[in-house]
Amino acid sequence: MKKIVNKLISIERETSEIKGEYDLFAFFLRDDSFRWDILVAAKWISSDKDDALGYISEKVQNALDTDEIIQISRIVILDDPNLELPDFLQNLHIRHGATEIKDEEFLGQHIKRGYIITGNSNQAA
């Protein structure tokens, strides 16, 4: 898993330099799933969600090999400006890293395991 996380850190770093900073870039394994979700939130995504999803998806497909890609379920765009971040993110200020979380709740979903690559509660989605 560390190999995929490192590739996602590179994707997050590269895309944030080109498009703008993320408020959240995370990699979560939901309790009811065997495949991982990539969660993203950023001001630049809100202007054209379809374009942003295509852009991020292309970056992921180009960086990961087939065995890694099949471990990913979806890319989730969080674009609700009133989104309340869970307590575990409230004081988080990480950029281009990989803070691991386990057994947390996020937007009504139980997260078995996850990595926050970028999270900035001051710029909440």
- Give the tens place of pLDDT for each residue, 34-89: 999 999 988 899 888 999 999 999 999 999 999 999 999 999 998 765 466 655 56
63 touches 38 (CB < 8 A): no
How many angstroms separate the CA atoms of 6 and 86, rounded? 24
| Tokens matching residue 70 | 């099949």
The C-alpha angle with vertex 60 and arms to 73 and 102, in degrees rounded to 5, equals 50
Q: How many residues does the chain have?
A: 125
Of 41, 56, 1, the C-alpha closest to 122 is 41
User: Which pTM value belongs to this model?
Assistant: 0.87
Residue in the block written with tokens 């590269």: 14
Q: How far apart are CA 68 and CA 71, in angstroms?
A: 5
What pLDDT, on a 0 to 100 scale, did the predictor assign at position 58? 97
Q: All domains of the chain, ordered by start, with CATH?
A: 2-123 (3.30.300)
Contact 12, 117 (CB under 8 A): yes
